[in-house]
């Protein structure tokens, strides 16, 4: 059986998760979801991996969303369970301790864009297209799209994209801050890895706590958010990496962080 989700450490500290259904636009079939679930659990526990990239195989698609051919044969209960499963896995992506970069190398529609929205960063090819297209199919985004998109680009623009089911270009996505950067497809992965390198050179425990502080803090009032930040900061006070950072600064050299 073909492995539908692949992982490789493309260089020290940087891991790549690849959705491997290019012939089906990397759509989220039940088997792919099962494999992705297992992969995310494994990667999340791997402290040697400091930054995670997620990309689709082939040259046309990041992820076209749910496998609608498969869903056509499901009853109502099966659809409900599948949507819940997709939502759970998208939440797992957001909850990964490492920073996660979506490398949008082609179309990202529906659940595919919802998967990208759960990542910390989105970098797209100039020819990429994306959109939450569910209302054109008689449903709504069901894996966090109605919640994460407004938080990212504002409620007015999010409603516009969701209500119209509009498919936008990478240039449009960049203009509304839906993506962080855009590159020609030939250099997209190279640029994504360069960005990952800039992140991975920093203290891994600090990256984890910064992600917690930002993701948790943005959901609460400022006073509570500041307390979350304080608690996250305090988690780092006893670490070897904190001392290494201070010593390296004094010695005017690059720190060698070990994640301890």
pLDDT tens profile 66-84: 888 888 788 888 888 888 9
Q: Do 208 and 182 fall within a single domain?
A: no
User: Looking at the predicted structure, is the pLDDT value of residue 142 above 80?
Assistant: yes
42 and 99 part of one domain: yes
Q: What's the pLDDT tens digit per position in 219-233?
A: 999 999 999 999 999
| 175-187 mean pLDDT | 96
Quote the Cα angle for 206-153-140, to 5°: 110
Q: Is the pLDDT of residue 210 over 80?
A: yes
Mean local confidence (pLDDT), 27-38: 93
What's the confidence (pLDDT) of residue 244?
76
176 with 245, same domain? no
Q: Are residues 220 and 173 in the same domain?
A: no
Residue 174 shares a structural domain with residue 119: yes
Residue 134 falls in the annotated catalytic set = yes
Provide the 8-state DSSP code for 178: S
90-117 burial, b for 16+ CB within 10 Å, e for fewer? bebbbebbbbbbbbbbbbbbbbbbbbbb
Q: Within this chain, do residues 195 and 214 fall inside the same structural domain, yes or no? A: no
Catalytic-role residue among 106, 111, 144, 145: 111
Among the listed residues 65, 124, 134, 196, the single catalytic one is 134
Give the CA radius of gyration of the chain: 19
Q: How far apart, in whole angstroms, are the C-alpha atoms of residue 62 and residue 124? A: 9
Residue 144 has pLDDT above 80, yes or no: yes
Tell me: do 213 and 92 sit in the same domain.
no
**Is residue 1 predicted with pLDDT exceeding 60?**
no
pLDDT of residue 68: 80
In a domain, 39, yes or no: yes
Which residue in 35, 114, 131, 203 is the catalytic one? 114
Range of the domain at 159: 5-200
- CA dist 50 to 1, 237, 249, 251, Å? 30, 20, 22, 25
Mean pLDDT of 188-217: 95
Q: What is the Cα–Cα distance from 193 to 177, expressed in whole angstroms?
A: 20
- Asked if residue 180 belongs to a domain, the reply is yes
**Any domain includes 256:** no
The domain boundary, picked from 174, 200, 226, lies at: 200
CA distance linking residue 155 with residue 142, whole number of Å: 17
- Residue 86 inside a domain? The answer is yes
Q: What is the mean pLDDT of residues 170-197?
A: 97
Strand partners, 19: 5, 56
- Whether residue 153 is found in the same domain as residue 184: yes
In which element (H, E) is residue 243 found? helix 240-250
Task: Find out whether 191 and 123 touch, Cβ atoms under 8 Å.
Answer: yes
Contact 67, 113 (CB under 8 A): no
Residues 6+ apart with CB under 8 A from 142: 83, 86, 87, 111, 134
- 66 as an active site residue: the answer is yes
Q: Is 60 exceeded by the pLDDT of residue 109?
A: yes
SS3 168: strand
- Are 67 and 192 members of one domain? yes
End-of-domain residue from the set 200, 220, 237:
200
Q: What is the pTM of this model?
A: 0.91
How many domains does the chain fold into?
2
Mean pLDDT of all residues in the chain? 93
Residues in the chain: 260
Of the candidates 46, 35, 62, the residue with the CA atom closest to the CA atom of residue 9: 46
Work out the average pLDDT over 32-57. 95
pLDDT of residue 82: 87
Q: Provide mean pLDDT across the span 109-113.
A: 95
Burial of 79 (0-12, 13-18, 19+ CB in 10 A): middle
User: What is the tens place of the pLDDT at every residue in 113-139?
Assistant: 999 999 999 999 999 999 999 999 999
**Active-site residue, selected from the candidate residues 25, 27, 64, 66:** 66
Q: In what order do the strands lie in the sheet with 129-131?
A: 61-63, 107-109, 129-131, 168-169
Q: Is 235 a catalytic residue?
A: no
pLDDT, average across residues 215-220: 93
């Amino acid at each position: 059986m073909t492995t539908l989700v692949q992982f490789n450490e493309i260089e020290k500290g940087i891991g790549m998760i690849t959705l491997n259904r290019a012939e089906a636009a990397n759509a989220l079939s039940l088997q792919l979801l099962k494999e992705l679930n297992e992969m995310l659990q494994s990667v999340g526990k791997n402290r040697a991996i400091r930054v995670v990239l997620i990309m689709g195989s082939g040259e046309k698609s990041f992820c076209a969303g749910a496998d609608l051919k498969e869903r056509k044969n499901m009853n109502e209960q099966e659809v409900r369970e599948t949507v819940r499963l997709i939502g759970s896995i998208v939440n797992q992506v957001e909850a990964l301790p490492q920073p996660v970069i979506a490398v949008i190398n082609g179309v990202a529609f529906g659940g595919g864009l919802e998967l990208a929205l759960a990542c910390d960063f989105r970098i797209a090819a100039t020819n990429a297209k994306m959109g939450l297209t569910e209302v054109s199919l008689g449903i709504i985004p069901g894996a966090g799209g109605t919640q994460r998109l407004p938080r990212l680009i504002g409620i007015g623009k999010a409603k516009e994209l969701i209500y119209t089911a509009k498919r936008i270009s990478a240039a449009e996505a960049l203009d509304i801050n839906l993506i962080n950067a855009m590159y020609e497809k030939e250099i997209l992965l190279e640029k994504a890895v360069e960005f990952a390198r800039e992140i991975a050179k920093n203290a891994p425990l600090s990256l984890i706590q910064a992600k917690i502080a930002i993701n948790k803090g943005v959901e609460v009032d400022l006073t509570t958010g500041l307390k979350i930040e304080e608690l996250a900061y305090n988690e780092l006070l006893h670490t070897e990496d904190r001392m290494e950072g201070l010593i390296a600064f004094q010695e005017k050299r690059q720190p060698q962080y070990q994640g301890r």
